[in-house]
Amino acid sequence: MTISLITTLLEKIAPIILQEDYDNVGLITGNKNWECKGVLVSLDITEDILEEAIQENCNLIIAHHPIVFKGIKKFSGNSYVERVVIKAIKNDIAIYACHTNLDNMITGVNSKIADQLGLLNRSILQPKNDLLEKLQLFSPKSHVEAIEKSLFEAGAGEIGNYSECDFVSEGIGSFKPGPGANPYLGEMGIRHKENENKIEVIYPKWRRNYVIQAMKSAHPYEEVAYEITSLSNVYQDVGAGIIGELPVAVHAEVFLKLLSESFHQQCIKHTSFTGRPIKKVAVCGGAGSFLTKLAIAAGADIYVTSDVKYHEFFDADGKIILADIGHFESEQYTIDLIYDVLRQNFPTFAVLKTKVISNPVHYFVNSY
Ligand SMILES: [Zn+2]
């Protein structure tokens, strides 16, 4: 099995196009055509994790955080980043990062946080736009159903909790086959009119190639007439943060206890209680204080995230409880997410979760 087979699968659940501008996802060292011996999944890449991969005979490490974010100009081993990159290259270890592209999926990093808390009725807190396209194509009536089926299988026609959505209208198409043509209908050199249907369907733009291929494979015409339009609609399944609801409202203290236990975090930093019970919960793994105002606007009773700075806690403003559970803690279940996807698709292949706890933050709990 090649590395590209694994990365192609990962890019289905976390398309590269969804990474933020500052990010550096994808293959950082190694080559996609290498034979993959085994995969180690981690949140970070430290020298210990790299050593673990070597010992376990894994030549691909899939990490949430990219080891290289910005340009590196020297490789002298003066920082842990340089040492990891040097050691990975010397040992033929491929490093692949799946970061903000996984954060931005409704089935990504935040879904694991929402799972831990049992959140229902989930939606994206800050959905992205400009990610949808619409395909319009024209088909003889006889082939509409086959084309629709093929398009839906390629991932077109999904809107929120609905699938197989499209619109079909009727009209008359015309064409005149010229020299060299091999027409499915009509005769050479004569303008032909045909009762046709127009099929309109939307899809996320990263699936364009699959959708066009699906359309052409099911269409009987030699030349398919079609149009692609970019839509500025928001794509409700992609973006930052998730908001959802607890099955029953609980007191803030009960919720914090649940948080502490679910995320193995003894020390949660939080703002004062609002007096409201907790029902609506917003979450964002990693540094998420940029979403506090949106969490308030969406009516969340608490916003669970990490890396909140002192002054950012004031943004809660008595309208919401802002809870910081720690960066590593908030993203720890991302390892399971990646691991499970690989396990389900390659059940007999060597996929391991790192045993190294890479969290650089330790908590000193004074027992007085
Ligand atoms: Zn992170």
Residue pLDDT, tens place only, 151-173: 999 999 998 889 999 999 999 99
Q: Are residues 17 and 54 in the same domain?
A: yes
Residue 365 confidence (pLDDT): 85
Q: Are residues 325 and 337 in the same domain?
A: no
Per-residue pLDDT of 32-55, as tens digits, reads: 999 999 999 999 999 999 999 999
Q: Are residues 155 and 278 in the same domain?
A: no
Residue 347 confidence (pLDDT): 94
251, part of any domain:
yes
368, part of any domain:
no
Q: What separation in Å is there between the alpha carbon of 263 and the centre of ligand 1?
A: 15
Q: What separation in Å is there between the alpha carbon of 119 and the centre of ligand 1?
A: 21
The pLDDT of residue 71 is above 90: no
Residue 367 confidence (pLDDT): 80
Q: Are residues 326 and 337 in the same domain?
A: no
CB 66 within 8 A of CB 97: yes
What would the mean pLDDT of 300-308 be, rounded to a whole number?
A: 98
Start-to-end C-alpha separation, the chain: 56
CA angle 210, 212, 218 (to 5 degrees): 100
Q: Are residues 41 and 84 in the same domain?
A: yes
**Chosen domain end from 192, 214, 231:** 231
Statement: the pTM of the whole predicted model exceeds 0.85: yes
Q: What separation in Å is there between the alpha carbon of 159 and the centre of ligand 1?
A: 29
62, part of any domain:
yes
Q: Are residues 14 and 95 in the same domain?
A: yes
Average pLDDT, the chain: 96
Burial 179-205 (b: 16+ CB within 10 A, else e): eeeebeebeeeeeeebebbbbbbbbbb
Residue 55's CATH number: 3.40.1390.30
Q: What separation in Å is there between the alpha carbon of 348 and the centre of ligand 1?
A: 29
Q: Are residues 65 and 13 in the same domain?
A: yes
Q: What separation in Å is there between the alpha carbon of 99 and the centre of ligand 1?
A: 8
Is residue 339 very low, low, confident or very high in pLDDT (cuts 50, 70, 90)? Answer: very high
DSSP SS3 for 236: strand
Q: What separation in Å is there between the alpha carbon of 333 and the centre of ligand 1?
A: 11
362, part of any domain:
no
Residue 296 confidence (pLDDT): 98
Q: What separation in Å is there between the alpha carbon of 326 and the centre of ligand 1?
A: 10
The pLDDT of residue 368 is above 90: no
**Chosen domain end from 175, 199, 231:** 231
The pLDDT of residue 304 is above 90: yes
363, part of any domain:
no
Q: Are residues 94 and 175 in the same domain?
A: no
Q: Are residues 243 and 324 in the same domain?
A: yes
Is residue 290 very low, low, confident or very high in pLDDT (cuts 50, 70, 90)? Answer: very high
Range of the domain at 145: 131-231
More confident residue, 126 or 161: 126
Q: Are residues 186 and 225 in the same domain?
A: yes
Q: Are residues 175 and 247 in the same domain?
A: no
Residue 183's CATH number: 3.30.70.120
User: Distance between CA atoms of 196 and 165, rounded to whole angstroms?
Assistant: 19
CB 356 within 8 A of CB 42: yes
> CA distances (Å), 217 to each of 134, 151, 194, 210, in order?
18, 10, 20, 10
Q: What separation in Å is there between the alpha carbon of 253 and the centre of ligand 1?
A: 26
70, part of any domain:
yes
Number of domains in the chain: 3
Residue 160 confidence (pLDDT): 82
Residue 20 DSSP code: -
Q: What separation in Å is there between the alpha carbon of 115 and the centre of ligand 1?
A: 18
Per-residue pLDDT of 140-149, as tens digits, reads: 999 999 999 9
Q: What separation in Å is there between the alpha carbon of 287 and the centre of ligand 1?
A: 7
**Chosen domain end from 231, 247, 276:** 231
Is residue 288 very low, low, confident or very high in pLDDT (cuts 50, 70, 90)? Answer: very high
Q: What percentage of the chain has pLDDT greater than the value 90?
A: 93
